[in-house]
Amino acid sequence: MKIVKESLLHLLFPPRCPFCDGILFHSVFLPPEQVCSECLDRQEYVKEPVCQKCGKPLEDEREEYCYDCSRRNWEYVQGKALWVYKGTVRDSLYRFKYHNRREYARYYGRELARIYGGWIRRCRIQAIIPIPLSRRRLRQRGFNQADLVARQVGKELGIPVYSHLLLRVRDTRAQKELNDEERKNNLKRAFKTRANKVQLDHILLIDDIYTTGSTMNEAAKELKQAGAVRVYCLSISIGRGY
């Protein structure tokens, strides 16, 4: 009965490859594919050398930090990211967010847990918090992409996810349209914690794209002001550090 139900579900909502959006081959006798065979190598994983602070790939392995991190201090302890933000990854994230491909979250979350589960444990993370959307943005989109991914990571690693602890109180303009100074102002008091006191020492923030780091930084700052001791960040994708 379970097999019949699953097959029917796959017929109605066939699982799709997160990179080309093609329908995945499905057999009740084999474990389900998560990515089609043609797309297995189409995404670039972030790998060493990376910036020891934000996790961006670096060109020069003698460098410890990227340009941004060598000239400013962050509120978070360390950040990691899964893929380089370009090509198929960029397209995949676009469909995920704007074409309602919520099912991609399962693969993203599993890959994050597979690659960074050890690091997350070493950081002794007690809670995962997705970067929230403003209420208006959430209404428009219908879901928070970071929340879906955070939930999958939490499920894989057995770590609780707190989706409502952090609030986005101010809608911010797309960061990429702004210069450095505008960016800083744009994020001023963008976040607020719901509880006056956060009783969690080690928190992991999750977002889909790490660009300038300002969003993660503001969220980490807010959590620390509420009582968190160490805040880490994890993103699905990140730009290069050069």
Count of residues engaged in binding Zn ion, rule: CB under 5 A: 12
CB of 167 to Zn ion, least distance (A): 27
Token pair belonging to 97: 């967010």
CB 156 within 8 A of CB 117: yes
Is 19 among the residues that bind Zn ion (CB under 5 A)? Answer: yes
Is 80 among the residues that bind Zn ion (CB under 5 A)? Answer: no
Which of 46, 50, 58, 69 is close enough to bind Zn ion by CB under 5 A? 69
Whichever of 42 and 202 has its CB closer to Zn ion, that residue is 42
Phi, psi of 241 (to 5 degrees): -90, 10
Whichever of 32 and 160 has its CB closer to Zn ion, that residue is 32
Is 36 among the residues that bind Zn ion (CB under 5 A)? Answer: yes
Q: How far apart are CA 173 and CA 171, in angstroms?
A: 7
Q: How far apart are CA 59 and CA 242, in angstroms?
A: 7
Is 51 among the residues that bind Zn ion (CB under 5 A)? Answer: yes
| DSSP bridge partners of 205 | 129, 233
The one-character DSSP state at 42 is S
CB of 148 to Zn ion, least distance (A): 20
Is 17 among the residues that bind Zn ion (CB under 5 A)? Answer: yes
CB of 22 to Zn ion, least distance (A): 5
Q: How far apart are CA 60 and CA 28, in angstroms?
A: 47
Token pair belonging to 176: 């990429």
Of 54-62, 86-94, 102-110, 194-202, the segment contacting Zn ion by CB under 5 A is 54-62
The one-character DSSP state at 154 is H
Residues found near Zn ion in the complex (CB under 5 A): 17, 19-20, 22, 36, 39, 51, 53-54, 56, 66, 69
